Amino acid sequence: MSERQVELEILRYNPETDDEPSFQTFQVPCPEDWVVLDAVNYVKDNLDRSLSYRWSCHMAVCGSCGMMINGEPTLSCKSFLRDLPEKIRIEPLANFPIERDLVVVMDDFMDKLGSVKPYLVPAEQKSVENGEYLQSPAQLKKFKQYTLCINCTLCYAACPQYAHNEGFVGPAALALAHRYNLDSRDVGRSARQDVVASNEGIWECSFVGACSDVCPEHVDPAGAIQQTKIASTVDYFKDLLLPGRHR
């Protein structure tokens, strides 16, 4: 298999020794079918054992290995060298604090994911002995797309609103709330509205759509947020016209 030499410029930062991040360059001989993650693994195994980054599945489903690759938030396991120039710049995901090298601090994202109550709130508890809730393929299809988020946080790295206001609940968490709101088995929407329809929720989104552009699973969080806005606006006018209405 033919090989080519690739130059990786990797942003390095060790908080124990460095005042600020700086780039380090590595020359890596790469077979033509490699992804960026393979090249980074080559560096780790052969050139510099101290390089830190997250990865696991190598098949774009665990969501660990997001990086800025030539300025774009990308899963490094699905970013093929054949589609990239000889020089590749690799940085940690934008809009997150750097913990070490390509590892970013995930706390804020994890808190936001939990804040939208992303779990099923059934109308009535059913025992397992009574079998499953029925749900037609059409009802499933209504929310299925929004179940596909792998929590890779590329959308937060791409989001201009999150860059500007870290209080913004953000694309993945809002899309997940939307997923449960749309589920025919769920009645938890009003409990989620506190966060979803707050000032830091859907109204903060300016619908640039960068989140949907970078989403490796085509979840379309921008679309989810737009749909949520419409539903919340309908709520608002209903409340105005029908005060005391129970939602």
Residue ranges binding other proteins (CB under 8 A): 1, 14-17, 33, 44-46, 48-64, 78, 80, 99-101, 103, 106, 110, 113-114, 117-120, 122, 126, 128-129, 131-137, 139-140, 143-144, 147-151, 176, 180, 183, 185-186
Q: Cβ(76)–Cβ(92) under 8 Å?
A: no
Residue 5 CB, shortest distance to other proteins, in Å, is 19
By beta-carbon proximity to other proteins, the closer residue of 77 and 88 is 77
By beta-carbon proximity to other proteins, the closer residue of 120 and 234 is 120
The Cα 172–Cα 150 span in angstroms is: 9
By beta-carbon proximity to other proteins, the closer residue of 135 and 199 is 135
The Cα 115–Cα 177 span in angstroms is: 9
Residue 50 has, within 13 A of its CA and on its CB side, a CA count of 8
The Cα 79–Cα 77 span in angstroms is: 6
Residue 241 CB, shortest distance to other proteins, in Å, is 33
Residue 89 CB, shortest distance to other proteins, in Å, is 21
The Cα 24–Cα 50 span in angstroms is: 12
Residue 234 CB, shortest distance to other proteins, in Å, is 24
Residue with tokens 């490796």: 216
Residue 198 CB, shortest distance to other proteins, in Å, is 18
Residue 239 CB, shortest distance to other proteins, in Å, is 27
Residue with tokens 């908080």: 15
By beta-carbon proximity to other proteins, the closer residue of 94 and 106 is 106
The Cα 100–Cα 14 span in angstroms is: 5
By beta-carbon proximity to other proteins, the closer residue of 42 and 203 is 42
The Cα 45–Cα 139 span in angstroms is: 48
By beta-carbon proximity to other proteins, the closer residue of 148 and 163 is 148
- Report residue 234 as tokens: 């309908």
- The CA distances from residue 133 to 72, 142, 198, 227, in Å, are 42, 16, 31, 25
